[in-house]
Structure 1
Amino acid sequence: MGKGLTAAQRKAVAASDPSTGRVAAGAAVCAALVAAGLAVPHGRAGLHYLTPEGRRVRAELAMRAGGQTAGEGPEAAAGAGEVEADRGRFVADDGSGAVLPGAGRVAEVAAAWEGLRQIRAVLGDGAAQAPAAWERERPVHAVALALEAAGVPPHRAGEDGAAGYRVRSSAHPGLVEVTWSGAAAGSAALARVASLLGPLGWQATEHRARGGAPFLLVSPRHA
């Protein structure tokens, strides 16, 4: 795939948003991608997003260029705070301390979550209750974004008494672990986290570590 595309079309696919698949290109290029089955239009604003086939073509183009798309390769196993943080792209706060709070953080999170809801609707035939494919491929980033969007505070290392969540990769493929740190640590705080994740497309069950500390094992819900 990708061989029949023009240079402009290949550039648009390769430069699409690594998280949502949004295509930033002219109307003619977007129309051609739609005709090729690589993108779909969404909303009144005339936005376009890559289809699953478009994402496969993007991965192919990245491999040909000798690179990797965001969330593929070694970085996919890392925490969200470690992925592309140095390139100015939005990174969900997983509580690792890699993301520093800023004045515009709330607006950035809201915009990222709205973009995610749009891509869920595009790829889910209008349904936005279940995680999209890219979320399932990047569960740490996706769960962290869901928690940030719900207003849950992330853990802040070095801040005395600062309670918050921490999202990590799980030993189980496709799942993540959520722990709670600080003065409010315990099942009650995690139960609230689980109740917030449910309506956002994630199911969470509580478990205990060997030392007795509670944690959530989180998996994506199916549509």
Structure 2
Amino acid sequence: MSQPLQDRIGADMHERSSSASRGVKRHLALVDNVQRHEERGKDGRFINARTAPQIGLDAGVYTPDLEDFLDGNMPRLIEPATHDELVDAIRSVDGTPDGESPVIHIAAPLGRLIDTDLAGPADGRPLIVNVAIGAGRLRVTSGYVIIRIDSSSPLEISVGDRTDVNVIVEPGRRASIAAHGDSVTTVYVGEGARGMIHVDDERAETKLIGKDTRGFRYTALPL
């Protein structure tokens, strides 16, 4: 590529949305409440010892760039200007030409992303979603999906059964990830990022990677 994908979308990484909605504030209050919970493991993280499945930890110092997930394909950059355009872009990922991977760059104020469904291409290529602005919930329903969070508002990610999802939480950003069913979830945590991971099925394979993951909590609380 003549210019790295990260550079091509980097200019739009600043938040332009208004303050978080009441629902987002309730979500943040839950995160803060969990972080202050008096029952903590030996490493200081709160763990519901009766029901929380194991979550793998890796003290990796490397946070991947989006190019690392292209699997040799060229990026097909899509920049929706409205929520309807976002929905159309997601529905059309199976029409992406051979040798390309769809990259949806959310940099326009589309309103809340509440319950936006994401499905990777049926042929196994990755769907890459770069969130530079916005709050809400993204639900991965099928396929291989990479989500990069660089919005200053918190996001919720729901990882569905039989999906493979990578989430990159950039430094200082906030997210909650819920892994369901027989899914594979890898969360890369930047410095100062915080949030929580909820796993509700022992079949779910979940890994948290970062030099400092103390800002993330693992719970079996309902989200």
Global fold match (TM > 0.5): no
Shorter-chain TM-score: what band?
under 0.3
The structure showing larger relative contact order (alpha-carbon pairs under 8 Å, at least 6 residues apart) is 2
Q: Which has the higher strand share?
A: 2
Structure number with larger C-alpha Rg: 1
Greater helix share, structure number: 1
> TM-score of the superposition, structure 1-length normalised?
0.26
